[in-house]
Every structure is written in structure tokens, then in C-alpha cells.
Amino acid sequence: MRLDLGDVRTILVGFVAALAVLVLIFSLAGIDEVTATLSMADGRVVAVVAVVALGWLFAWSMSLRTVLRVLGIRISVIRAFFLYSGATFANNVTPFGQAGGEPFAALLISRTTKADYESSLGAIASVDSINFVPSISFALVGVAYYATVLTLGDTVVMIALAIVAIAVVVPAAAVFGWRNRTKVEFAIANNVVRVAGALARFIPRLSPPTKPAVIHRLRGFFDAIERIAGDRRGLLLSVFFSALGWLLSSVSLWLSFYALGYTVPFAAVLFVVPIGSMASIAPLPGGLGGVDAALVLLLVPMAGVSVPTASAAAIIHRGATYFLPVLIGGSTTAMLEADNAKTGSINSD
């Protein structure tokens, strides 16, 4: 799995843009104030934040392992952790979060487990889809708490209404698309063939796929999704691991405030973490900058803290849930690819 020069250039441009967004955010918050707040952080609690973040990464890797087992792909716990770390690394260095990283993650899973690419893509796409259920559920719990205990401001009310709309529209769209998946297959195949044909006019080396070939791959993907959805026990276990991951991620943010000497309502972080993660769809690597801005904007009214405090807590939390997985995922991806190359060399001999 190699990145060409264009991929590297896109990633570098994305990180430069993300850095510019981060500088803008913390400049508006007051860099001196944020730095002063961070200097008061309890290092022991920050270390616990990192451990909790590892727990979040492990929980979601178990969700991936469960989904792969449903598809008949059996891997060890440690290998599942390495694979999901690699998938998280792909998501965090490519634009548009999961949408940008899933093809790379699926390729890594396919090369490592020797499964076909369509099943691998179906597995990682299923994990991302499963993660949607507890994320919206936790956000609604947070909103319900604030609605019964406090008077919601206009901004929070609008966010709450948006969450309810998402909770209704997204599943409805998914059900509609699934029931009409044959039409969806043909529509996607037509567009892929049309776009690939247009690109082939300018890139002589590009051989556009045929419509039957695209449909065949899409059906392999949908078949994998259907197998996963049909295994109720596996699906429930995967949802459990997903919910555990969201809970640990929320604990990470709560502890980030605690490290700074603040105790915020847990309902606030339970609401902010999943909603803030939606900003990862921004055209930045892993939503870097976009998620951070969303966290700060949501934390100030929800947690009742100042902008510098919210910014400092976001830095600690994102350091553990973004940069730590990048370091681990980058290392494990290199290790898995080295092992894949070695295995491939032995098989060819």
C-alpha cells in the first residue's frame, strides 16, 4: 500500500490548512491565556487521559474484530488493535475523515487478512455506521439532561433540533437506499464509468472499468453489509464496543478539564464529543482544526467555561484522541505493511 506523489502532496496541503485553522482558533482564544491554562495542567491526570484514549481505541478495534468475525475473518485481539489503529491513522491523515480514509483502511485490512477488498470495505464501513447509533444516543441523553435541569439557550436548542433531525433523516435515508440498493448500484456504476472514462481522456495510462465490473464489486460490498446486518448477536456486540468507545472518549474530555482543575457536567461532554466529531467531515486531515473549533464552540456554552479553558481542554483531549492514534497507527501500519510485504515475498518464492 503505497502513496503516490499526488497523495502525499494532498496530505501535506491538508495539514498546512489544518495548522492555519488551529492557529486562528487559538489566536482568537488568546494564545497567552491558553498557554497559561495549559501550564497548570496536572501531568498525572493528563497521563490518565492518554490511557483512557487507548481504551477508546481498543474498544473500537474490538468492534472491527467482531464485524470481521461475522464475515468469517478471524484475527487476534492484538492484530485487530493494530488494524484499527492503522484505519484510524488513515482517517486522520486524509481529508473528510472516514470518507477519505476508508478506502486506504479497507486496503490495509484486505492485505493483512487476505480478505477480498469489498468485504474489507464493508467491514470498516459497517463499523463507522455502527458508531453512528451510540453517538446520536449519547448526544440525545446530554440534551435531555440539559432540557430537564437547565434552560437551554437558543444556540443549544438549534443544535438539539439538528441532532433530532439527523437521528431521523440519516436512518431513513439508509433504509431507503438499502431497499433500493439495486438502483443505487446501477446509479453508482454509471457515474463511476462516466467519470473514469472522462479521466482516461487526459490520463492515457488509466484504464476505465466496465459497468459490469463495477456492479460486481458493489454487490460484493453490499453482500458483506447484509451478512453483518443479519447477525444480530455480532451486531449487538459491535454496538456495545462502539458505545464503550464513545463513553471512554467522553471520559477523556471530562478528565482533560479535571487536569486543568475544572469539574464540568458529564452530560456536557457526553453531548459535545459525538457532535464535535461530525466536524471531521471537513476537508482537513481527520477534521483537524474543524473538530477542535467545534469542541471549543460547544464547550463554552455547554460546560460554562471560558474560551481559553475550553481551548486548553480541547488540546489535551485531541492530543490523546488524535495525535496519539496517529503515532500508534502510523507505526502499526508500517509494521503491518512490512509483514505483508514479507509474507507476499515468501508466497511468491
Q: What is the pLDDT along the chain (349 residues), one digit of tens a residue?
A: 554 445 556 667 767 777 887 888 888 888 899 999 999 999 999 999 999 999 999 999 999 999 999 988 899 999 999 999 988 888 888 776 556 677 888 888 888 888 888 888 888 888 888 888 888 888 888 777 766 665 555 666 666 667 667 767 777 877 777 778 778 777 877 776 676 667 566 666 656 667 777 776 777 777 877 888 888 899 899 999 999 999 999 999 999 999 999 999 898 898 889 888 887 777 777 778 888 888 998 898 888 899 999 999 999 999 999 999 999 988 888 887 777 666 654 454 5
Q: Is 125 within 8 Å of 225 (Cβ atoms)?
A: yes
What is this structure's pTM? Answer: 0.82
DSSP string, 226-257: HHHHH-HHHHHHHHHHHHHHHHHHHHHHHHHH
Q: How many CB atoms lie within 10 A of CB 167?
A: 17
Alpha-carbon distance 216 to 199, whole Å? 22
Helices (H) then strands (E): counts for the chain: 14, 0
Q: Is 315 within 8 Å of 330 (Cβ atoms)?
A: no
**Between vectors from CA 167 to CA 163 and to CA 168, what angle results, nearest 5°?**
120
pLDDT score for 99: 60
pLDDT score for 5: 47
Q: Is 312 within 8 Å of 292 (Cβ atoms)?
A: no
pLDDT score for 41: 93
Alpha-carbon distance 30 to 276, whole Å? 21
